Amino acid sequence: MKLLILGGTVFVGRYLVEASLARGHEVTLFNRGQHNPELYPDVEKLRGDRDGDLAMLRGRRWDAVIDTSGYLPRVVRASAELLAEATEHYIFISSISVYPHFRSLGLDESAAVGTLDDPTIEEVNGESYGPLKALCERAVVQALPGRTLVIRPGLIVGPHDVSDRFTYWVRRVAQGGEVLAPEHPGWHTQLIDVRDLAEWTVRMVEQKQIGVYNATGPEYELTIGRLLDTCRTVSGSDARFTWVSEQFLAEQQVGPWIELPLWIPQSDPDMLGFSDVSCGKAIAAGLRFRDLTLTVRDTLAWDAGRLEQADAPAQALQLRAGLSREREQALLQAWANQGT
């Protein structure tokens, strides 16, 4: 198949390229060339800005288009409308953030998506990201009715993750010692290895599948305890976990999700089912998950490699998410001092 990938050099995009090439497809990339331009020297690269500079896409045809970089409805609509005559199949990588709340367990694709009072806004932030993604989905479906596949991933993890949310735990547990952990070992979390997401997406493209699919995992109920134990086993560290309560974290003004990755306060009724989204439809369509051990191992190896390339000790390379060691130590001390 001839595939056009919008983006293709950052995290999800680069693994979509690798999965496509591994399965024998001919790939063309369209992006600005600002991130990892050295990747894939043998792949055709069209340079342009999808926000107003789509000239390089005119007059071409592809069997499918995979859009990995759409955040603004106006911009996505322009790409989708231009490419509607150039392809039979348009795949849009969205997010489970399109759902305005997670008040029930097992939320599936039939749930309503979020809306904006002003759908023309273009400031992407924590509140607007999800509704804007939902509007992007709508723009694609309107431009190519009956020819679209919308994939809504949850937390995507693995090597080359630019968010560092999962990497924080892999690195921190590997460092050993007393590790602050949220809530209790049985608390649920969800994630999907970027390589599993990419490989499944390419297979869905090959099958010309359409519709909307949540894509998170794994297929079993993953607990934070199992995740951290796996990180400890893989790294061989002496990490020991101190489980602190949600109330304590709130009192200490610890920020969920970013400052303390994967933690979502269960006291918020809107987020009760955030870590229990249904991915049954995707599993039925062939989504499979590699063993968590492999994800942790490969993320740890990638992180170690970038530390070496940075020519700096582990403490010196600041992650984009997670507690600083100083903040963690202060929290652990405050937890230990309770009641004294």
pLDDT digits (tens, 9 = 90+) for 13-22: 999 999 999 9
d(CA 227, CA 230): 5
Whole-number percent of the chain with pLDDT over 70: 98
Two tokens, residue 167: 């990497």
What is the per-residue pLDDT for 287? 98
Contacts of 88 (CB under 8 A, 6+ apart): 63, 64, 147, 208
Two tokens, residue 36: 């990892």
Mind listing the domains of the chain with CATH numbers?
A: 2-153 (3.40.50.720), 165-190+219-274+291-333 (3.90.25.10)
What is the per-residue pLDDT for 310? 72
Determine the Cα angle at 160 with ends 125 and 169, to 5°: 80
**pTM score of the predicted model:** 0.96
Quickly tell me which residue has 């303390």 as its tokens: 260
Q: How confident is the model at residue 339 (pLDDT cuts 50, 70, 90)?
A: low
In the chain, where does DSSP find H-type helix?
A: 12-22, 73-83, 129-143, 165-175, 194-206, 224-235, 246-251, 280-284, 292-309, 325-336
